[in-house]
């Protein structure tokens, strides 16, 4: 099945509707997976091998403004800088927008502003595609459900399926070939004391994309078959931890899930490592602090940066050890009550 078939399933006749606003702007938060998505059962539709569970990062994310323009092609800016049409980023965006053009001649000015670094393992494709889908929904007056918004965002990037709402989101893998049962669902729980610390050790782009790294892991790692089993167990523990506000269980499970994902990547061939010496050194500091009784854990995505997990009352102590860390409170009322 192709992406355009899924778009037809969701939008049907609405795809022909020539009515649209001149411009639309939408924000989507980035999200950090506490239980990761690593591996696709369908790489065209970004259908995952396993379910995953994330937390959206409040007001950290991307704002996309879409304008319909009378011009020969799409123009893209990222944080006010023009993106070359020959770049991979531009191509990925225009290919995605091709799915929604009511006429071939319809072109857009796309301005994306993000308050997180692009492609440095802070899931910027997640909030980028989610905010683009939310802006399209407004522009074309589709008024789609959260489920359908999540499915469309997934067609852009898998993890974008979890970036449509704030809060804890579980992306169920689904079993259908068309992926209509594979989308992000908001969990009812909130956790106001939960903090995420962004520890940037390097802001450069990642050398190998998640898409390529996942495929190589599946194709060559002897350990990949163990991953779905690990995820199944971790999801049970993470949901229990969220429900019972058991921070130690949450932190331990999230950290172990990330380490397992990176361990499996190391066993791929050629090996994949997103570690830098600074990543390892920060991990060792975290482990040492934990030995001293501090409830501090981390998770890591497809980049060298770490996201620290802790509770609000430990912030001052942690900030002393990681002075460059940026604090995010995912459940800050001003952010969480906006939607
Ligand atoms: C390590 O969503 O970027 O961040 O579907 O190919 O666009 P594509 O991959 P992407 O992968 C994210 C991988 C991860 C784990 C996660 O966010 O669950």
Would you list the domain boundaries of the chain? 3-186, 194-336
Structure confidence at residue 152 (pLDDT) = 98
Task: Give me the residues paired with residue 257 across strands.
Answer: none
Which are the contacts of 167, defined by CB distance < 8 A and separation ≥ 6? 55, 56, 186, 187, 189, 190, 330, 331, 336
Q: How far apart are CA 213 and CA 91, in angstroms?
A: 20
Structure confidence at residue 230 (pLDDT) = 98
In order of 106, 286, 308, the CA distances from 254 in angstroms are 44, 14, 10
Sign of CA dihedral 168, 298, 271, 128: positive
User: Does 33 contact ligand 1 (Cβ within 6 A)?
Assistant: yes
Structure confidence at residue 124 (pLDDT) = 75
In order of 66, 83, 206, 303, the CA distances from 117 in angstroms are 21, 15, 11, 11
Following CA atoms 124, 126, 127, 132 in sequence, which dihedral angle do they give, to the nearest 10 degrees? 120
Residue minimizing CA distance to atom 4 of ligand 1 = 301
Structure confidence at residue 339 (pLDDT) = 44
User: Does 125 contact ligand 1 (Cβ within 6 A)?
Assistant: yes
Q: Calculate helix-pair angle for 227-244, 247-266, nearest 10 degrees.
A: 160
Smallest Cα–Cα separation from 135: which of 46, 44, 20, 58?
20
- Distance from residue 184's CA to the centre of ligand 1 (Å): 14
Residue minimizing CA distance to atom 5 of ligand 1 = 158
CATH 3.30.230.10 holds for 3-186: yes
Following CA atoms 55, 57, 61, 66 in sequence, which dihedral angle do they give, to the nearest 10 degrees? 60
CA 248 to chain centre: 24
User: Does 159 contact ligand 1 (Cβ within 6 A)?
Assistant: yes
- Distance from residue 266's CA to the centre of ligand 1 (Å): 17
Going residue by residue through the chain, which has 339 residues, state the pLDDT in tens, using 9 for 90 and above: 999 999 999 999 888 876 788 899 999 999 999 999 999 999 999 999 999 999 999 999 999 999 998 888 999 999 999 999 998 889 999 999 999 987 888 899 999 999 886 544 555 789 999 999 999 999 999 999 999 999 999 999 999 999 999 999 999 999 999 999 999 999 999 999 999 999 998 877 668 999 999 999 999 999 999 999 999 999 999 999 999 999 999 999 999 999 999 999 999 999 999 999 999 999 999 999 999 999 999 999 999 999 999 999 999 999 999 999 999 999 987 655 544
- Distance from residue 216's CA to the centre of ligand 1 (Å): 14
Structure tokens at 175: 């079993």
User: Does 170 contact ligand 1 (Cβ within 6 A)?
Assistant: no
**CATH code for the structural domain at 194-336:** 3.30.70.890
Domain 3-186 matches domain 194-336 at the CATH topology level = no
User: Does 41 contact ligand 1 (Cβ within 6 A)?
Assistant: no
């Amino acid at each position: 099945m192709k992406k355009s078939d899924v778009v037809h399933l969701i939008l049907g006749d609405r795809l022909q509707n020539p009515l649209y606003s001149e411009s639309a702007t939408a924000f989507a938060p980035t999200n950090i997976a506490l239980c990761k998505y690593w591996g696709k059962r369908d790489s065209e539709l970004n259908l995952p091998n396993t379910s995953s569970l994330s937390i959206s990062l409040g007001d950290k994310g991307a704002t996309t403004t879409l304008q319909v323009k009378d011009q020969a092609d799409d123009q893209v800016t990222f944080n006010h800088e023009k993106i070359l049409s020959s770049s991979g980023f531009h191509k990925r965006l225009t290919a995605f927008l091709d799915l929604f053009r009511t006429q071939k001649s319809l072109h857009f000015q796309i301005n994306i502003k993000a308050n997180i670094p692009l492609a440095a393992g802070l899931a910027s494709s997640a909030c980028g595609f989610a905010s683009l889908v939310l802006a399209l929904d407004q522009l074309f007056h589709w008024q789609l459900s959260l489920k359908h918004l999540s499915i469309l965002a997934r067609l852009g990037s898998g993890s974008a399926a979890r970036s449509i709402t704030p809060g804890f989101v579980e992306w169920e893998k689904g079993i259908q070939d068309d992926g209509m049962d594979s989308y992000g669902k908001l969990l009812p729980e909130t956790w106001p004391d939960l903090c995420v610390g962004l520890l940037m050790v390097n802001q450069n782009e990642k050398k190998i994309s998640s898409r390529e790294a996942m495929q190589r892991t599946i194709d060559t790692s002897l350990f990949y078959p163990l991953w779905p089993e690990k995820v199944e167990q971790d999801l049970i523990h993470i949901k229990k931890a969220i429900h019972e506000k058991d921070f130690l269980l949450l932190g331990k499970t999230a950290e172990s899930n990330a380490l397992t994902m990176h361990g499996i990547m190391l066993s791929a061939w050629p090996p994949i490592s997103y570690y830098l010496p600074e990543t390892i050194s920060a991990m060792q500091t975290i482990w040492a602090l934990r030995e001293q009784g501090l409830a501090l854990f981390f998770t890591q995505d497809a980049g060298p940066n770490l996201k620290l997990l802790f509770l609000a009352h430990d912030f001052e102590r942690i900030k002393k050890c990681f002075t460059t860390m940026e604090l995010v409170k995912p459940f800050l009322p001003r952010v969480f009550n906006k939607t």
